[in-house]
Amino acid sequence: MAVRPSSSALQQYVEDELLRAPLLFDQVIDGANESARRDLAMMAPAQRSTVGDLMQALLAQRARLGDYFMRSLREQVEGDLARRDPPGAPRQSKRMSLSLVDEEEVAMDVELSHTIEAIKSTAEYELRELQTYISSLVGDMDVSTDHNPFRPESYARAVWAAAQALPLSRGHQLAFMRHAGLPLAQLLRKTYAASASRLESLGVEPAIHRTVILPSGQRRGGSGRANETTYTPDLHRMVETMPAPLDDAKLSYEGQDKPRSPRGAPRQESWRDVARHTSNRIDRQSIELVSRLFDAMVADERVPPDVGQIIARMQGPAMRLVLRDGGGLLDHDKHPLWRFINLLVFEAEMAPDPVDPDRLMLLKNALAIVEQLASEHEQNNGLYRWALERLDGFLQKRLTRRLTAAASQIGALQKLEDQLFSGRPLPSGFHGTMDVADIDTVPAELLDDESMATRSPALPGDWTDTLKPGDWVRMFMQGRWVQARLLWPGERREVWLFGDGASDATWAIRRGALANMHKERLAKTLRQRSIVGSAAARVQDQMAGAAA
């Protein structure tokens, strides 16, 4: 008999897995010790001494480390379950605090990222299989998202929490992570497989991964944005080969008589209604192209449904604009209409939580702008320049509000940077979270002997030289990937303040740490992708397929 999907079934699964987690960590300790023992013969005397101290500490502190591991794992899992609460559930506000991230913190993130990737590559099949069973528990039979609360990231962060409980130096803690990474990956492969088997024995029927068939010539890689093509077809040339509406009674491609619109979107004008009012074949070809572009943009799975509704609302006005200035609208990378859409989608991606107040305000303002556009009977390019300026102005005001909220942090960090450049030693012990009020008075025992005067400047062409306030960056920060916005670079560009796109959290990052993150591919600048460019490529593929 199949198990019915329910939150209680998922909760029972979580409790069962947590009961087995202490034994898993004991085996990780044994595996890390065995890995260190094998490597001793190839080490220099100083390294052997370090690893010997580590092995003794692991044996002596096993119970303490296990407590830290379980506490971290349970907190992460419970946090994941709490995020499944229905929209509108109260959320706990965060205390105004920041973390100062230096090179040592980046070294930790590098080890964490290596551990996570080792788990994902070693247990790839088992993770995918388990995902189908857990999706069934929550009723997601298409496996549209990953519902597994015991992801590789959760185990890796829990092991790092245990490492920090070692009464040894940061170097010893990182060495433990290096030796524990492969044993953890191998153990989790067995753990995930056993979890799937247990769920199957309980009568859980696995869900089925949804298969998405892409247009001819398109491939999607695992890293998302990094694999996107920058090729965009020439819209002017596409018009010349576009079939003209109303030339034949038969529709030129499947689904053309029923333009796709997001559920709940207002009724849109049909391109056929607009085309009836013109006898110019080029105009009708342009109308059909724009109609297909909007259909492709709304159907793009990377465009969230709430944003797709706003884009769909622009389709009717855009087709009327084609009749007035079709040539200008076909400049895909220059026309304010397409730039408005690209900017809206990009900013919505930076705040992915549907109930985020900032996101809701963004969409509310964008919809008001679009409604104003749609109400104008006479469409012209000036209207869309106005719309783009309004949206950009809203975003600038939002950035200003966040800078105002972080004013105390910025002031404290600037004082710290000034003190460092005046000859005060550099801090090296900012691990964890500090109150803003504490940053200005750094205890002497947390300072080392290196001064800012002896620190080498950034190399010409350094990635940090390209960053400017307002830029969005994707970075691996404290064990997870985040989308963060550069709020403020220090006057001497030694300390940088970033704000999380999904919360009020902020991070102060040393320039050297930021450069190391980029070198290790743990940080990169995010750029707007061309929504209309991707849509044009899909439309071109549709046309080529129809002609074949």
- CATH class of the region 406-525: mainly beta
Alpha helices in 406-464 (DSSP H): 407-421, 436-439
Percentage of the chain lying above the pLDDT 90 cut: 37
Tokens read off for 408: 């105390």
Please, which pLDDT band fits residue 510 given cuts at 50, 70 and 90?
Answer: confident
Q: Give per-residue pLDDT as tens, 191-207.
A: 999 999 999 998 888 87
**pLDDT-based confidence at residue 343 (cuts at 50, 70, 90):** very high
Q: How confident is the model at residue 231, as a pLDDT?
A: 56
pLDDT(23) > 80: yes
pLDDT tens digit sequence for 515-525:
888 988 999 99
Quick check: 6 pLDDT over 70? no
**Mean pLDDT within 216-232:** 43
pLDDT at 126: 94
Distance of CA 336 to CAs 155, 344, 447, Å? 46, 12, 52
Per-residue model confidence (pLDDT) at position 228: 47
**Best-predicted range by mean pLDDT (5-9, 220-224, 229-233):** 5-9
Assess contact for 25 and 66: CB atoms under 8 A: yes
User: Residue 27: what are its φ and ψ, rounded to 5°?
Assistant: -70, -30
- What mean pLDDT is reported for the chain? 79
Whether the per-residue pLDDT at 10 is higher than 90: the answer is: no
Domain ranges of the chain: 7-86+104-201, 227-397+530-547, 406-525
pTM of the entire predicted model: 0.71
Are β-strands 472-477 and 425-427 bridged in parallel, bridged antiparallel, or unpaired? Answer: unpaired
- Cβ-defined contacts of 212-218 (< 8 Å, 24+): 212/301, 215/538, 215/541, 215/542, 215/545, 216/541, 216/544, 216/545, 217/541, 218/537, 218/538, 218/541
* The predicted structure's pLDDT at residue 544: 80
Bigger pLDDT: 291 or 1?
Answer: 291
Residue type, 273: D
* pLDDT per residue as tens digits for the range 241-270: 777 665 554 434 333 444 444 444 444 455
Q: Which helix (H) or strand (E) holds 476?
A: strand 472-477
